[in-house]
A and B are shown apart, each in its own frame.
Chain A
Amino acid sequence: MKSAVPVRAPAVRLGRALAVLTLLLLVVAALAVWGGGQTLDLASIRSDPTTQTLLFRLRLPRVAMAALIGSSLAVAGAALQALFRNPLAEPATLGVSGGGAVGASIAIALGWGARISGIPLVFIAGFAGALAAVFVVHRIARSGAILLPGALLLAGVVVNLIASAAVLAIQYMTDSSRAMQILRWIVGSLDVVGFDTVWRMLLFLAPCWIALLALSRELHLLAMGEDTAGALGVNVERCETAVHLICSLLVGVTVAVGGAIGFVGLIVPHAVRLLFGEDLRIVLPGSLLLGAAFLIAADLVARVAFRPVELPVGAVTALIGGPVFLWLLHRRQRYSAL
C-alpha cells in the first residue's frame, strides 16, 4: 500500500502535540478529580472538611500519582522502542517490573509493614528488587564495554519470566491473605493518601524525564539504526547505557510504588505516533503527556466502572491495552521489525 504523507515541519507538529495533549490531560484530570465512587460537591469545598479531605488528601494525590506513573511508563516505553528498534518493546522487557514484583512479594510475605522515613518497606523492597534485576540484565547483556540491545531485550524478558515464577512460588508458600495482598500489588494500585509519596517520587522521576527529553535527538537517530546514529555523531554505547539506566530507574520507582501496571509503555507511544508522526523528538514529550492522561483515565474507569467495587488499574490497562496490541499486530505491514 503506497501512501503519501503530508510533510509538515516537525516544530509545527510538536506545538500541535503539546497543545492538544496538554488540553486532554487537563480535561481528564478534572474529570478524575470530580468523579469517582463519590462525586465531589465543588460548592462545598470551602466549608465541608470531608470534601476537603476527599479532594486534597485522596483525589488530587491519586490523580497526581496516576500522572507520574503514566508519564514515566509511557516515556520509558517510547525510549525503549527506539533503543531496541522494536515497536513491541515496553518497560516490562527490561526485567525491572519482574524484579520489583519479587522484592515487594518477599516484603509482603514476611509481613514487613513498617516504614523508613515515612516510606513503606514494601516500596523499598520493590525498588531494591527492581535494581537487582537491572544489575543482572545489564551484566548479561554486556560484551566487554558494549551493551548489546538484542541481549538486553532477551535477558529482560527472561528475568521477567523467572520473576513471575518466583512470585507464584511466594504466593503459594504464604498465607491466603498475604497472597491476596501480593496479587493486588502486582496488578497495580494508585492508592495514596496525601502528597508525601508523590513529592518523593517526583524527586526521582523528574530528572529522568528531563534526561530522556535531552536525549530525544540521540534516540531519534538511534531509531534509524545504530550505525546510522554513530555515523551522525551519536556516542551509541554511552547513549544506550544511559537510556537503559534512566528507563530502569523510571520503571523501578513506578513499579515499587504502583505495582506492575502493564501496556501503558507499549500503547501510549504508538498512539502518539499515529497522531503526530514518528519523530522521537515529538513522541517523547507527547508520551509524557498522553501517558499521564491515559493512566488517569484508566484509574477513573477502575474506580467507577463497577462501583462500589474498585478494579485494579493494571487490569483496566490490560483490558484496553490487550486489544490495542492486537490491533497493532494487525497493522504489522507498516512495521518491518514484526
Chain B
Amino acid sequence: MSALLDARGAEYAYPAGPPVVRGVSLEAGRGTLSALIGPNGCGKSTLIRLFAGLIEPARGELLFDGAPLRSLPRRELAKRVAYVPQASALAFPFTVLEVVLTGRSPYTPRFRFENAEDRERAMQALATVGAAHLASRRVTELSGGERQMVAVARALAQEPQCLLLDEPSAALDLKHRAALIRTLAQLRESQGLTALVVTHDLHLIDPLFDHVFALRDGILAAQGPPAEVLTDSVLAQVYDDPHVRTRRVDGRTLIWSN
C-alpha cells in the first residue's frame, strides 16, 4: 500500500523556542486510519500542522502522494487535505451551514458564491456527522461538541483524500466520540479516506484504527498496529509512566494507569 502522507526527517521549532518536532519520519498509508498519540507537548499538533501545510519544516521534507507538499498550491492542497484544528470558539455568529460551506471555497472561483451543488455537498457532510438538523442554527449557540462536529463536517465538505484531525473528540460526549470514529472507519471503507487523528482517547483506537504513531519529545518513539503499540511496556516508555496497564477485552484494548 503506497503512502499518502510521508514525513522524512521533519524538524520544526516555533520562533525563539526549542525544537518541537525532531527528525520525524513516518508514512501514513493510503486508505488507512492512523492515530497519533503521545504526552502533552510532544509535537503531535505541530506534526499535524506540518502535514496540513500551515507551517513549513525547518529541515526534512513532507510529501503528499509522492509529491513535496510545498509544490502544491495552497488551494490545490485544500482539495486533497482537510484539517480540523483543536476546538476553538468562533467570534461571529455564522450559521452552521455558512461554516460548512467554507469547505467548498477551494472549489469556488474568487468572485462567485457557492452554488446549489456546493450547498448540497455541505448538507451531505452535515448529515454524515449527524448534524444536518443544526444547519440553520448559529454556531455561537452550539455546545462545544456540536461545534466540533460542525468543524468535521466542514472538513468533509472539502471532499479530501486525507483528513487531519487534532483531538477531534476532546469536546465530545461518549456517544459522539464513538460515532465520530465509526464515521471515519465507514468513510475509509466506502471512499478510501485516509485519516491521521491526534488523540488522547487511547480506548477508541483498537480495533478500528489501522496504525498508531507514538511521539515522545518530538521523536517517533514507536509505531505499528494497535496490538503492538498499545502494550504496557511501549506506553510506559512513551508516557513515562511505569503504572500504565493494558488489557485486551472482547477484541479491544483497555488502557489505564494505576
Contact = CB atoms under 8 A, between A and B. Distances in A.
Interface of A: 1-7, 9-11, 14, 85-87, 143-144, 146, 214, 217, 220-221, 223-225, 227-228, 230-236, 273, 277-279, 281, 334-337
A7 B99 CA distance: 12
Interface string B30-51: 0000000000000000000100
Contacts of A11: 113
B15 A278 contact: no
B223 interface: no
Contacts of B15: 143-144, 146
A334 B140 contact: yes
B83 A227 contact: yes
Interface of B: 15-16, 49, 52-54, 73-75, 77-78, 81-83, 85, 88-95, 97-99, 102-103, 105-106, 108, 110, 113-114, 119, 135-138, 140-141, 151, 154, 158
Contacts of A7: 95, 97, 135-136
Given A7-B135, A230-B53, A1 B141 contact: yes
A212 B113 CA distance: 17
Given A10-B113, A232-B102, A336-B89, 18 more contacts: A2-B137, A3-B137, A4-B136, A5-B137, A5-B138, A87-B92, A217-B110, A224-B99, A228-B154, A230-B52, A231-B53, A231-B78, A233-B106, A278-B95, A278-B98, A334-B93, A336-B91, A336-B140
A90 to B, nearest CB: 14
5 contacts: A4-B136, A87-B91, A224-B102, A227-B49, A233-B73
B140 A220 contact: no
A233 B137 contact: no
Contacts of A231: 52-54, 78, 81-83, 85
Contacts of A336: 89-91, 140
Nearest to B84: A231
B54 A224 contact: no
A212 to B, nearest CB: 13
B92 A10 contact: no
A51 to B, nearest CB: 43
B141 A9 contact: no
A220 B114 CA distance: 13
Contacts of A236: 54
Contacts of B89: 336-337
B103 A232 contact: yes
B170 to A, nearest CB: 15
Contact of A5 (B85, B95, B114): B95
B102 A278 contact: no
Majority DSSP secondary structure for residues of A touching B: loop
B113 A3 contact: no
Given A221-B105, A230-B53, A233-B75, A278 B114 contact: no
In this complex, which of A225, A235, A336 has the most chain B Cβ atoms within 10 angstroms of its Cβ? A336
Those 7 A-B pairs whose CB atoms lie nearest each other, nearest first: A233-B75, A231-B83, A337-B91, A336-B89, A233-B78, A85-B91, A227-B85
B186 to A, nearest CB: 23
A320 to B, nearest CB: 23
A285 to B, nearest CB: 11
A6 B130 CA distance: 20
Nearest to A4: B136
A5 B106 contact: no
B94 A225 contact: no
A223 B95 contact: no
A224 B157 CA distance: 15
A335 B95 contact: no
A223 B92 contact: yes
A228 B85 contact: yes
Contacts of B94: 223-224, 278-279
Contacts of A214: 110
Contacts of B75: 233
A232 to B, nearest CB: 5
Nearest to B92: A278
A164 B105 CA distance: 43
B138 A334 contact: yes
A255 to B, nearest CB: 26
Given A5-B95, A7-B97, A235 B136 contact: no
Interface centre among B83, B85, B90, B114 (most CB of A within 10 A): B90
A70 B92 CA distance: 23
A225 B102 contact: no
A236 B108 CA distance: 18
Contacts of B78: 231-233
A74 B92 CA distance: 17
Given A144-B15, A230-B53, A231-B82, A224 B90 contact: yes
A3 B105 CA distance: 26
B105 A232 contact: yes
A6 B97 CA distance: 11
B91 A223 contact: yes
A85 B94 CA distance: 12
Nearest to B116: A9
A217 B105 contact: yes
Contacts of A279: 94, 98
B156 to A, nearest CB: 13
Contact of A225 (B52, B88, B135): B88
Contacts of A230: 52-54, 74
